[in-house]
Amino acid sequence: MAIAACSTLAALFAGLLLWQSLSGAAIPGCGGGSGCDTVLSSRYSRIGPIPVSALALPIFLSMGFCSLAALNRNPRLKLAQRCLLPLAIIAAGAAIWFIAVQALIIHHLCAYCTITHAFALAASVLIFWQSLMSKARIAPLFPAIAALLLAAMIASQLLIQPRLYTITTATQPASQPSPSTTGNQISLYNNRVTLDPANWPLFGSRRAQHVVVLMFDYTCSHCRREYPLLQQARRRYGTQISLIVIPVPLEPSCNPAVARLFPEQVNSCTYTRYALAVFLADPAQFESFHDRIMQGDRPPSLEQTRQIAQEMVTAHAFATALADPSIEKHIQESVQLYRDVGAGAIPKLIFPTAVVHGEIHPLQQMFDVLESHLDLKPLR
């Protein structure tokens, strides 16, 4: 019964993770920037388009069923009993693999995933112990097949690059028109997002045929990995496209849409204020500042960031801009835009009729997404 209980609990958590993956719904503790969010939005959360939880769920359910069948001496259930050890090999091997991936590759832990693996491991250990104590002999074919399936799963994860982002499409215009729309403003996402490009940093020509909004956070690892791909895309399409970049801090102290502070997002508000101060002091210097701060896996320290800003716009201009009340207004506006497009995962790319939520990778997927939503042609 202990095996059935552990297997059922593992199945319940796997079902929760599958529901989250398919629906995109938020679950407690998995907000933007959390360890849970980082793991569930990584390439290791899927095999191609299939969430790994979709593969785990039937295995855990089968383990529970077979463990109950093993308690029954009915000969008709003999096959179910023989399947118990192979299922345990797959479950235990997968649990060890995914825990190692979280600890050694992603460097973040998803609590729900880890609990799922813990229950699966507990059930597997009990099955191994039961098998050792049993006098019944199991043909080696079944465990060998299980080991091959496990190896195939791991190889597939390493070789197949899954899609890490989701796309929401606004097929109908917003039911309520955006307030105070003027000739200087642009509307995106079928009029659900309206903004004045003059109020935000713009990378590229104001005369570009296509304008895309990028929402990001300087402390967001997904945003930092995606940004070099956007730079390559701008070189590919030239003056056809420009980016409006809107920093969205994922820190609750300045973003009420974020329910919980995670270690990675500490000082996110300050980084955003420093960046907006550079923009206010000298808009022409912002792109160079932004490029320097976005280098590497993590932003420079706050002191280094401040020094970079002062070098670019002078210490006096930076201090004056940093004290400007409009910085807080910019942050409030960015938070409202973040809510308007559904909050959740960043980075976000906002197109005329769609929003892409999450990191786009590799480079060819970036080109495919841009060309599918905009009439873009490579320069050569």
Give 161-174 as a DSSP string: -----EEEE--S--
User: Is 76 buried (19+), middle (13-18) or exposed (0-12) by CB count in 10 A?
Assistant: exposed
Give the CB-side neighbour count of residue 100, counting CA atoms within 13 A.
7
Tell me which range, 14-23, 42-51, 196-205, is most confidently predicted by mean pLDDT.
Answer: 196-205
Mean pLDDT taken over the chain = 89
Residues in a beta bridge with 194: 187
Q: DSSP secondary-structure letter at 72?
A: -
- Give CA–CA dist 38/33, Å, rounded: 6
Average pLDDT, integer, range 298-323:
97
Lowest mean pLDDT among 54-68, 75-89, 137-151, 272-286: 75-89
Q: What are phi and psi of 205, to 5 degrees?
A: -85, 140
Query: Does residue 263 or residue 377 have the better pLDDT?
Result: 377
Which tokens go with 79?
A: 């096959």
**CATH fold of the domain at 166-373:** Glutaredoxin (3.40.30)
Q: pLDDT-derived band of residue 63, with 50, 70 and 90 as boundaries? A: very high
Q: In 3D, which of 245, 296, 298 has the Cα closest to residue 268?
A: 298
Q: pLDDT-derived band of residue 178, with 50, 70 and 90 as boundaries? A: very low
What pLDDT does 174 receive?
53
Residues 97-127: pLDDT tens digits?
999 999 998 888 899 999 999 999 999 999 9
Write the CB contacts of 42 (distance below 8 Å, at least 6 apart in sequence).
Answer: 106, 164
Question: Is residue 147's pLDDT more than 80?
Answer: yes
The answer, as to whether pTM is greater than 0.85, is: no
Q: pLDDT-derived band of residue 230, with 50, 70 and 90 as boundaries? A: very high
Answer for the pair 137, 24: CB distance below 8 angstroms, yes or no: no
Q: Please list the residue range(s) of the chain that carry CATH number 1.20.1440.130.
A: 2-159
- Give CA–CA dist 312/290, Å, rounded: 11
Strand order of the β-sheet with 354-357 is: 166-169, 354-357, 348-350, 210-216, 241-247, 202-203
Question: Is residue 169's pLDDT more than 80?
Answer: yes
Rounded alpha-carbon distances, angstroms, from residue 193 to 146, 155, 187, 338: 51, 42, 6, 10
For 2-159, the fitting CATH number among 2.60.40.10, 1.10.10.10, 3.40.120.10, 1.20.1440.130 is 1.20.1440.130
What pLDDT does 33 receive?
63
Answer for the pair 86, 143: CB distance below 8 angstroms, yes or no: yes
- Give CA–CA dist 115/128, Å, rounded: 20
Question: Is residue 176's pLDDT more than 60?
Answer: no
Q: Please list the residue range(s) of the chain that carry CATH number 3.40.30.10.
A: 166-373
Q: Indicate the pairing of strand 241-247 with strand 210-216.
A: parallel
Which amino acid would we find at residue 280?
Answer: L
Q: In 3D, which of 315, 188, 313, 332 has the Cα closest to residue 272?
A: 332
- Give CA–CA dist 267/269, Å, rounded: 5
In the block, residue with structure tokens 């959360």? 45
